[in-house]
Amino acid sequence: MRLWSLHPKYLDKLGLLGLWREALLAQKVLLGKTKGYRNHPQLIRFKKTEDPILYIGTYLYYVYLEGKRRGYNFNKDKIIKYDLNLKMPVTIGQINFEFQHLLEKLKVRDKEKYEEIKDEKTIEPNPIFYIIDGDIEEWEKDKKVLNKKKK
């Protein structure tokens, strides 16, 4: 499960469709309606909020908007609740890590999308997030990240 901190506009078709599915699964996990993924590190930041369902729903809504912009038929009714006034922090280190991680995926999976975004200078987060100073988030468990921290 990867709940990208990046704006969903950077994702290729497979990435966006996968994000929609995974964020819906995250909502289900946070609702307590599944046994798996309950302790998944990608959920930590949502669990720390005063209303995890509202925050994951708001996150999902922005994914829905990107899907709609691209002509996909994401079902907005699957989002339990959302509030477009909500914001949560994400570190610049996390944004930079995720963007590099995405570029590596796109080199293999979608060269056209890779070429489209590879020279971006200012990386936007999913609109629920605002960027703060800091390294890669503590909850990030990707092995590549752990290796980077050791250097």
pLDDT of residue 6: 98
pTM: 0.90
Rounded to whole angstroms, the Cα distance separating 80 from 24 reads 10
pLDDT of residue 144: 57
For the CA atoms of the chain, what is the radius of gyration?
Answer: 15
Burial of 64 (0-12, 13-18, 19+ CB in 10 A): buried
Amino acid at 104: E
Enumerate residue ranges in the chain where pLDDT < 70.
Answer: 1, 143-151
Conformation bin of residue 88: beta by default, left when phi > 0, alpha when psi is -120 to 50: beta
pLDDT of residue 41: 80
pLDDT of residue 47: 94
Specify the length of the chain in residues. 151
% of the chain surpassing 70 pLDDT: 92
Residues 17 and 110 sit within 8 Å (Cβ to Cβ): no
Rounded to whole angstroms, the Cα distance separating 103 from 115 reads 9
Rounded to whole angstroms, the Cα distance separating 137 from 46 reads 13
Enumerate the H helices of the chain as residue ranges. Answer: 13-30, 44-47, 52-69, 92-109, 111-117, 143-150
